[in-house]
């Protein structure tokens, strides 16, 4: 599904990813962990196609297509979804309007049946409940005046409705209290399926108590330096990133 080969990428000209390799198959959940500045968020943004995040070497293939050749909206239409670390506000554009535009564009491109307004509204309301968001949020501007936790749940709500093939979650757990974390985890877990790949980018092991990954990778200085099963996350929790990076100060107590 996702095949990353010796990927090099730069942000505003500065090299961040330096030869990253990763394969995600359908049905798998991967966790990408690593200290601050290791390139975790860069990886997510490069895959989604953010401006100024430039692939300078290697390749990332999604469903056999090179992502470098695709505009961000084309990647989304193929079924790649990024849940943002800091979801931005779009004042005056209602969540519902936004969802309608997003779902029209992606479902059409994926040859899925288009939903009429009634169906869309019903599904959106159900999905809101699933992530403990008051359906009133559908009428509000996208993320406008939402609390940090509400923004994250709004991202998950969008993800559930859009049913992506590959979901990238960029530090979705940051800034969430334990209840919200569980809600978000429930949402992500409900999306697990044999057809779908999920990549969790996180600083902390905490999220992985609720979304148990099949694979854990440790990213440092733009490369994956260790991969393993879910137990790797526990080892990291115990020893800190310094255990792998060789930097004692880069330990588990470092704030996010």
Which residue ranges make up the site for another protein (CB under 8 A)? 48-51, 71-73, 75-77, 81-82, 84, 87-93, 97-98, 101-102, 105-106, 109, 141-142, 158, 162
Task: Tell me the closest approach of the beta carbon of residue 227 to another protein, in angstroms.
Answer: 27
Q: Are 131 and 146 in contact (CB under 8 A)?
A: no
Q: Are 3 and 60 in contact (CB under 8 A)?
A: yes
C-beta of 93 vs 212, nearer to another protein: 93
Look at residue 182 and give its three-state secondary structure.
helix
C-beta of 18 vs 100, nearer to another protein: 100
C-beta of 97 vs 209, nearer to another protein: 97
Q: Cα 39 to chain center, whole Å? A: 14
Rounded Cα distance, 202 and 41, in Å: 9
Task: Tell me the closest approach of the beta carbon of residue 231 to another protein, in angstroms.
Answer: 33
Task: Tell me the closest approach of the beta carbon of residue 77 to another protein, in angstroms.
Answer: 5
Q: Residues 6 or more apart from 179 whose CB is under 8 A from it?
A: none
Burial string for 105-129 (b: 16+ CB within 10 Å, else e) reads ebbeeeeeeebeeeebbeebeebbe
C-beta of 26 vs 90, nearer to another protein: 90
C-beta of 200 vs 224, nearer to another protein: 200
Task: Tell me the closest approach of the beta carbon of residue 50 to another protein, in angstroms.
Answer: 5
| Distance from the first to the final alpha carbon of the chain | 30
Task: Tell me the closest approach of the beta carbon of residue 109 to another protein, in angstroms.
Answer: 7
């Amino acid at each position: 599904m996702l095949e990353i080969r010796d990927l090099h990428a730069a942000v505003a000209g500065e090299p961040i990813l330096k030869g990253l390799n990763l394969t995600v198959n359908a049905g798998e959940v991967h966790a990408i962990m690593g200290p601050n500045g290791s390139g975790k968020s860069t990886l997510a943004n490069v895959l989604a196609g953010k401006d100024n995040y430039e692939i300078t070497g290697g390749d990332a293939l999604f469903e056999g297509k090179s992502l470098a050749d695709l505009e961000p909206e084309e990647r989304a239409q193929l079924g790649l979804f990024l849940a943002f670390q800091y979801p931005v506000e779009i004042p005056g554009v209602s969540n519902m309007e936004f969802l309608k535009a997003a779902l029209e564009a992606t479902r059409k491109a994926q040859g899925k049946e288009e939903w009429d307004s009634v169906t869309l509204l019903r599904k959106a309301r159900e999905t809101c409940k699933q992530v403990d968001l008051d359906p009133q949020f559908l009428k509000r501007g996208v993320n406008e005046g939402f609390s940090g936790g509400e923004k994250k749940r709004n991202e998950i709500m969008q993800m559930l409705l859009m049913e992506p093939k590959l979901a990238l979650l960029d530090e979705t757990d940051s800034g969430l209290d334990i209840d919200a974390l569980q809600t978000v985890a429930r949402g992500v877990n409900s999306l697990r399926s044999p057809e779908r790949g999920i990549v969790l980018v996180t600083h902390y092991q905490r999220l992985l108590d609720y979304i148990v990954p099949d694979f854990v990778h440790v990213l440092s200085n733009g490369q994956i330096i260790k991969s393993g099963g879910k137990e790797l996350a526990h080892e990291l929790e115990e020893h800190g990133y310094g255990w792998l990076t060789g930097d004692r100060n880069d330990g588990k107590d470092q704030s996010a």
